[in-house]
Each structure stands twice: as structure tokens, then as C-alpha cells.
Amino acid sequence: MIAPVDFPSSRPQGYEWLPDEEVFDPEVHLDIGEPEFVHTLADFGYAPSDCEGLATDLAATGPFRILSDRGAEVMLDSARRLRAFTRRASTRVENAVRGGCYRSRFLRDLCLSPDVTAAMSRLYGAPVAPHAMPVHLGHLNFEPTVLTEAVDKWHHDTIPLDYVMMVSDPALLKGGHFEYFVGTKSEAADLASRGQRPPLDRVVRCEFPGPGWAVGLHGNMVVHRGAPLDEPGERITMVNAYESLDVAHDLQCRTRDLIAVDDHEVLFAEWVRHVAWRARHRLESVEREAPFGLNADGAIAMLERAVEDVRSAIDDMRAGYRESEHYEQ
Ligand SMILES: [Fe+2]
């Protein structure tokens, strides 16, 4: 296991802290519970070979509590203030706030909370850390302006692991459920190629008992969405991303999709740091473990694996913009 990346001590240009936020206090703002059930990737139809290189075989958890009543109040207040910074994140999501942890200290401290990270590591059965790219921390989705539009269309995430938390009160909403498909990505792609969405009898509609409750997700493997609202209402969710602290695991990121989404002032610096961090640790293990008797093919394989994230980052940066992948138009 390796040490996680520290949150940057400086902030990008143009990002100011929200004034007068309540200071995050885990004793006051957290009330972490356990989900009543979990599903594995095998339950969703994935074969063992699909799961090689992944940090965990967990697919999704039942709802569990993260925030206390007071924590949920402060979270909602901060999210409402961050609404001023919404932008169209992609053709997938109309209204999202990225980089909120550079604006809200409360959101930053919640997303970096060691208590929550420990709870997520328990759920995943593997040591994880908050994602090394802070644009993936505290992602906020807000309801779209067009009622019939999905809040976030069917997709799998650009990051490996996350939780999706209700920030606004789910009891006040008609529709707008967080839903996931009990199936594989390739099944979802097959359906999409025939112009179909996941069938209702294979879709789980999450029922959150209140704000501050979340579901844990293997977001890169589980196809999910924020369904359309049936009536206008305030719908805010927060997604916090995690990644494995064992760099032997795959990257499981589609950072290239973010070129169309994130502020370039922030994105490229975070992207470079992320892959440099992983490659540094992978190279260290090559340095430590390369055995006498290693042949050329073995040596090449070790080195290629160590720098694969760096190589693909360079290729992706050169290739540039692409529309964020998802399963419907
Ligand atoms: Fe997602």
C-alpha cells in the first residue's frame, strides 16, 4: 500500500473559499452507518476475467448513512451556495459543479475525511483513498432545467469507485431516483446500440431514507443514472470518488473525457500529478523487485506496465477533446 496524494496546498486561479461556512467536525457532522446489503460484480453478471486488475469485486451497496442531521443541513447550505458555479458538464449532465473542494472548506474536509475513507475501505474490502484528482471530489449534480431530461443519463463513471449521496431531501421529490442496471457494461452497450435502455425489471431504484444517505458504487463498472424528475423540485446529489492504494490495480479512469468537462486551469495539473504519483510507485516496485535472470520480454513488460498510465495520458492529451461516453443520446 502507498501513501495517498496530499490535497494541494495552493488553489487554482479564480477559486475563492465560500465565506462563513461552519467548520467540518466529524463528531458533529458525521453519523456513519452500514448498508443492509451489498452486491458483487458477479451478481451483475461479470466474469472473474472481467474483474482482473480491479481494486474490489463490490458492485453496489444498499443505502447507508454518512451525515448527521446537522451535517446534512450544512452540506445542503454549502451546495446551494455552490449552485452559482454550475456549468454544463457534458451532454450527460446539464448542471454540475466540479472543483467544489477548492471553494467549500466543508465539502473539502468531508470528502477527505479519514472516517469516511475508512468506512469506504471497509465496504470495498480494500484500502482506498479519496481520488488523487480533486476535480473528482465532491462532484455536485443539480436538477436539469428541462423536466423530461434525465438528471444524469445512463453511463459508467470516469473514475473507479465512489459514493452517491443525496444532498437535498429525497422525501420532497417526485421521481429523480438514482438508479443502477443489474447487468454489465457490454449488455448496456448492446441495448444502447439497438436504441434501448436497461429494462425496468433489471433496474434498481435506490430509496434514500433522507439527505446525507449514500450508496457505495463501483462506478466504473456499474451502469447507472439520475432518472428524470416527475415534478419540478430541488434535486442535489454529491459524488465523491475513491481509488485503490495498491497501484498494481488498474487506473480505471477515463480522464480524457474531462477535457470537455473540467476547467483546464485545474485539469491538466491534476492529471499530470495523478499519473506521476502512480508511475513513481510502480517504478519503485520495479526497482525493488526486478530479479536476476529477467529476460528482455520480462523487462519490457515490467517497464511498460510501470509507465502505462503516463503513456496513455500523453496519448489522450495529444488526441484531445472527445464527448463523454454514455449509453443514450
Ligand atoms: Fe456516475
pLDDT in tens, 227-252: 999 999 999 999 999 999 999 999 99
pLDDT at position 103, please?
98
The rounded Å distance from CA 262 to ligand 1 centre is 15
The rounded Å distance from CA 283 to ligand 1 centre is 31
Q: Locate the domains of the chain by residue range.
A: 26-249
User: Is pTM beyond 0.75 here?
Assistant: yes
pLDDT at position 93, please?
76
The rounded Å distance from CA 124 to ligand 1 centre is 17
The rounded Å distance from CA 181 to ligand 1 centre is 12
Domain 26-249 = CATH 3.40.190.80: no
The rounded Å distance from CA 328 to ligand 1 centre is 14
The rounded Å distance from CA 272 to ligand 1 centre is 23
The rounded Å distance from CA 245 to ligand 1 centre is 21
The rounded Å distance from CA 156 to ligand 1 centre is 6
List the pLDDT tens digit at each of the 329 positions of the chain: 899 999 999 999 999 999 999 999 999 999 999 999 999 999 999 999 999 999 999 999 999 999 999 999 999 999 999 999 998 766 677 789 999 999 999 999 999 999 999 999 999 999 999 999 999 999 999 998 887 788 788 999 999 999 999 999 999 999 999 999 999 999 999 999 999 999 999 999 999 999 999 999 999 999 999 999 999 999 999 999 999 999 999 999 999 999 999 999 999 999 999 999 999 999 999 999 999 999 999 999 999 999 999 999 999 999 999 887 788 74
Residue type, 45: G
The rounded Å distance from CA 307 to ligand 1 centre is 27
CB 12 within 8 A of CB 99: yes
Torsions phi, psi of 39, nearest 5? -115, 145
The rounded Å distance from CA 163 to ligand 1 centre is 9
The rounded Å distance from CA 290 to ligand 1 centre is 39
The rounded Å distance from CA 178 to ligand 1 centre is 10
